[in-house]
Amino acid sequence: AQSVTQLDSQVPVFEEAPVELRCNYSSSVSVYLFWYVQYPNQGLQLLLKYLSGSTLVKGINGFEAEFNKSQTSFHLRKPSVHISDTAEYFCAVTPDTGRRALTFGSGTRLQVQP
């Protein structure tokens, strides 16, 4: 079984400041890792994913994440946030074989202030 821990439930940040949203996971098998974003009253949209290869992955809207296998982490970063980045962000994992259902963290609400 897998589990995902998002260490911060809320992250307030000023516009144009950098931000890091933290994600740690636990799994007895190899996994794929994902970050999804949810804007108010909407479904989830994929930001980026790590399957294999380079541990630094770039996604949409200027976000990037780094996979660290030894620390079982997959932190999300953006060097300069905008008001429009205000949303809920979910880290998720799925085994790289077999059942592909995602296991989600509890989410981090990013609040960008002017």
Partner 1 sequence: NAGVTQTPKFRILKIGQSMTLQCAQDMNHNYMYWYRQDPGMGLKLIYYSVGAGITDKGEVPNGYNVSRSTTEDFPLRLELAAPSQTSVYFCASSSPQNTEAFFGQGTRLTVV
The yes or no reply on residue 77 touching partner 1 (CB under 8 A) is no
- Of 53 and 114, CB closest to partner 1: 53
- Of 36 and 73, CB closest to partner 1: 36
The yes or no reply on residue 8 touching partner 1 (CB under 8 A) is no
| Nearest alpha carbon to residue 36 among 7, 3, 74, 72 | 74
**Cβ(28)–Cβ(93) below 8 Å:** no
- Of 101 and 114, CB closest to partner 1: 101
Torsion angle of the four alpha carbons 38, 48, 22, 8, in this order, in degrees rounded to the nearest 10? 0
Site residues for partner 1 per CB under 8 A: 4, 6, 9, 32, 34, 36, 41-46, 49, 51, 90, 94, 99-107
